[in-house]
Amino acid sequence: MKTLRWMTRLLMLAAAPALALAEAPHLSLEVDLDPNDQAVTVAAELHLVGREAIQLHLPPRSTMTELRRDGEALPLTSSPAFPVGGLNPGGSTVTVRYHAHLPSLEELDDTWRPFLGESGVFLPAGGGWHPRVSGVTLLTHEVTIRTPDGWRAVASGEWVDDSDDGTVARYRHPRPGRGVTVVAGPWRVETQSLEHGLTVRTYLTEGTAHLAETYLEPTGDYLLDYHRRIGGAPFSSFAVVAAPIPVGVAFPGFTWIGESVLALPFIPYTSLPHEVLHNWWGATVHVDYGDGNWSEGLTTWMADHWHAERRDPAEARRVRGDWLRNHAALPPQEDYPLRRFRGGREGAHRVVGYQRGAMLFHMLRDRLGEEAFDEGIRRFWEARAFRVTRWAHLQAAFEAASGDALAVYFDQWLHRTGAPRLRLERAERTEDGVVIRLFQATPAYELHVPVAVETEHGTERFTLFLAGTQAEAHWTVEGTPTAVAVDPDYDLYRALDPGERIPVIREVLEAASIHVAGPLGREAARQLRLEHPGATLERAGAVLVAAERDEMERVLRAVEALPAPMPPPDAAAVAWAGRDARDRPLVVITGDDREAVQGLLRRLSHHARESHVAWDGERVIDSGLWPEPEHHGLRLAF
């Protein structure tokens, strides 16, 4: 989603160094929302310590009705930014009241700006709707929100209470945060109490209210899980809130998820744990975006990957394999160091920030061991909660927990592009086991390489330390070795060996240059929003073919593609990934008619990690990866 690209724009407005906790200003807000008139009225009290003067910012085109300094009335101004002097460094309060009219959702081209209307209310912390002080990154806050009958409001922080009719809600953020976010809508509220004094709430529309139980129970489970693993929840409440736009984004104390997204059956088990964990990483341990965004990688590993691993190790292996295949599909010119990742969930941002970032933590867990890794996470949380945080703070926490020096480890994974390239140069049986020699291309990484030795009695696992271009090891095993496999479970972030490569649809969708062929090719390219179509067959880096079934054989011959696999008998349309005669990525899309092809195209981007997809005219009936090769450059059978 484009959610995090927008969130980065907002959060980077507040990327200055953090104030000491004792100096964080406190903001008290009373907010009246009038969706019919698209109006917001704000009464704000800003308590400041250690300042003699400030530059105060209000929303553009707002009308100020009151301005006071420690109770003394000051001249009103129409300027959105103005100085307030004469403050008492020991403690002063600036009071300001104003009202403003905001656009409705329907009036916006960019739906990530503040909006207020009958479709809902969105007032983001970085959107400039509440008073802001130049140079201030973090503040504490409390907010009271009044809404019309039938509407409810949620704000960043923890829920305090509601009025009997629900039209007045109070929230607080007692430790420093990055401003106040408010959302509101015509929601029904359900509540579930948990141990440790925690509360889970859902704010759902009439069309999604039946999903309350679907979200209450897993949200509570995730909160308690993270509470135990990390060391306490940052807020006493957490809410799942329906959004009028198709998003999934986390704020302190709640996640805002589109109505259409909430109804998807996999969301409570995939996206939801990710957004709940952001309540710790990103929403409470704040990211120093100038130093790079560490929170998406850590959240992806501790939520998406960890839950897959807990369900089934084979599922987690598939996830890591997908990440390596995505890296293989990333055009080299679009790659960049993890340290430069700020946000965004598309293309290179997804591969670098989420997946390479997650693998950094996966490899670190394997290197340190689970006990030291978990201790590092707890130390990190205790030291950095409610503070602006850099990669160096993570390194320090894991070093303190493990006693290891990790400067080389973090430096290589944060500052380089690409990934290690390994080659199994030698693997031989000995009288009592095996001897192997492993090579890596320069520049060399410092790696702890998993190696599996398969024997007649089972599989034994070893680790080979590789710091230069090559290393050799001799291991004793029980029984006769039958094969040696280097990193068979994709536990290293590395370039796949050419023989390991399984064709997937993403390789073409994200190629730097694409040749489009077939009567439906141009239409398919537009529907898939391909960025680089139009290359000649000779110069293209990838090939996309789309045609009705009776035209397909002729088109495949024209682009020198390999023969198509047999589709399921009840498929109206199929897509499959392969290689052409020049060993370039290829995707073929075909069906009974144009309508069937269009139906599959509308869903194809959701299956980019797959090798083949079949569509029966109403739903996807089959998808998956081609089988993994049994023999390649990192696996040798004796």
Q: What is the pLDDT of residues 204-244, one digit of tens each?
A: 999 999 999 999 999 999 999 999 999 999 999 999 999 99
* Alpha carbon distance 151, 153 (integer Å): 7
What are the angstrom distances between the C-alpha of 154 and each of 166, 185, 271, 455, 533?
11, 9, 20, 59, 44
pLDDT of 11 above 80: no
pLDDT of 22 above 50: no
Q: What pLDDT score was predicted for residue 564?
A: 62
Q: What pLDDT score was predicted for residue 8?
A: 35
**Phi, psi dihedrals of residue 48, rounded to the nearest 5°:** -125, 145
Which pLDDT band, with edges at 50, 70 and 90, does 534 fall under?
Answer: confident
Query: pTM, whole model, 2 decimals?
Result: 0.89
DSSP 3-state percent helix, strand, coil across the chain (nearest 5): 30, 35, 35
Low-confidence winner among 1-10, 162-171, 487-496 (lowest mean pLDDT) = 1-10
Residue 258 CB partners (closer than 8 Å, separation 6+): 242, 243, 244, 245, 246, 247, 248
Residue with tokens 């809410």: 239
DSSP bridge pairs for 613: 575, 623
Residue with tokens 């050799």: 472
pLDDT of 2 above 50: no
* Alpha carbon distance 296, 298 (integer Å): 6
Of the two residues 214 and 2, the one the predictor is more confident about is 214
Single out the residue of 515, 511, 504, 459 nearest to residue 635, CA to CA.
Answer: 459
Beta carbons within 10 angstroms of residue 629's beta carbon? 13
Tokens coding 18: 């953090």
Q: Is the distance from CB of 537 to CB of 543 less than 8 angstroms?
A: yes
Residue 456: half-sphere exposure toward Cβ, Cα within 13 Å: 4
Find the mean pLDDT for residues 45-66.
95
What are the angstrom distances between the C-alpha of 313 and each of 274, 305, 454, 545?
19, 10, 19, 36
Which pLDDT band, with edges at 50, 70 and 90, does 563 fall under?
Answer: low
* Alpha carbon distance 459, 301 (integer Å): 27
Max avg pLDDT among 145-154, 528-537, 605-614: 145-154
Average pLDDT, the chain: 92
* Alpha carbon distance 251, 180 (integer Å): 9
Q: What pLDDT score was predicted for residue 6?
A: 37
Tokens coding 428: 């031989």
pLDDT digits (tens, 9 = 90+) for 369-414: 999 999 999 999 999 999 999 999 999 999 999 999 999 999 999 9
Find the mean pLDDT for residues 9-25.
45
Q: Is the distance from CB of 565 to CB of 576 less than 8 angstroms?
A: yes
pLDDT of 565 above 80: no
**Phi, psi dihedrals of residue 186, rounded to the nearest 5°:** -80, 80
What are the angstrom distances between the C-alpha of 566 and each of 89, 191, 210, 556?
77, 51, 42, 14
- DSSP states along 46-110: EEESS-S-EEEE--TT-EEEEEEETTEE------SEEEE----TT-EEEEEEEEEE---GGG-SS
pLDDT of 15 above 70: no
Helices (H), 162-270: 212-226, 259-262
pLDDT digits (tens, 9 = 90+) for 274-309: 999 999 999 999 999 999 999 999 999 999 999 999
Residue with tokens 């925690």: 198
Find the mean pLDDT for residues 125-152.
96
Beta carbons within 10 angstroms of residue 25's beta carbon? 21
Find the mean pLDDT for residues 88-104.
96
Q: Which domains does the chain have, with CATH numbers?
A: 3-186 (2.60.40.1730), 289-415 (1.10.390.10), 422-496 (2.60.40), 506-624 (3.30.379)
Radius of gyration over every alpha carbon of the chain, rounded to an integer in angstroms: 28
Q: What pLDDT score was predicted for residue 532?
A: 84
Q: What pLDDT score was predicted for residue 630?
A: 82
Asked if the peptide bond before residue 585 counts as cis, ω within 30 degrees of 0, the response is no
Q: What is the dihedral of CA 386, 387, 393, 394, to 10 degrees?
A: 30
pLDDT of 478 above 80: yes
Q: ∠ at Cα 346 (345, 351), nearest 5°?
A: 80
pLDDT of 555 above 90: no
pLDDT of 614 above 80: yes
> Which residue type is seen at 121?
V
Q: What pLDDT score was predicted for residue 67?
A: 98
Q: Residue 600 CA to chain centroid, in angstroms?
A: 26
Q: What pLDDT score was predicted for residue 111?
A: 66
Residue with tokens 């897959």: 308
Q: What percent of the chain has pLDDT over 70?
A: 95
* Alpha carbon distance 204, 85 (integer Å): 45
Single out the residue of 348, 421, 326 nearest to residue 625, CA to CA.
Answer: 326
* Alpha carbon distance 229, 375 (integer Å): 9
Q: What pLDDT score was predicted for residue 18?
A: 36
Of the two residues 564 and 255, the one the predictor is more confident about is 255
pLDDT of 345 above 90: no
Largest CA-CA distance found in the chain, in angstroms, rounded? 92
pLDDT of 83 above 50: yes
Q: What pLDDT score was predicted for residue 149?
A: 96
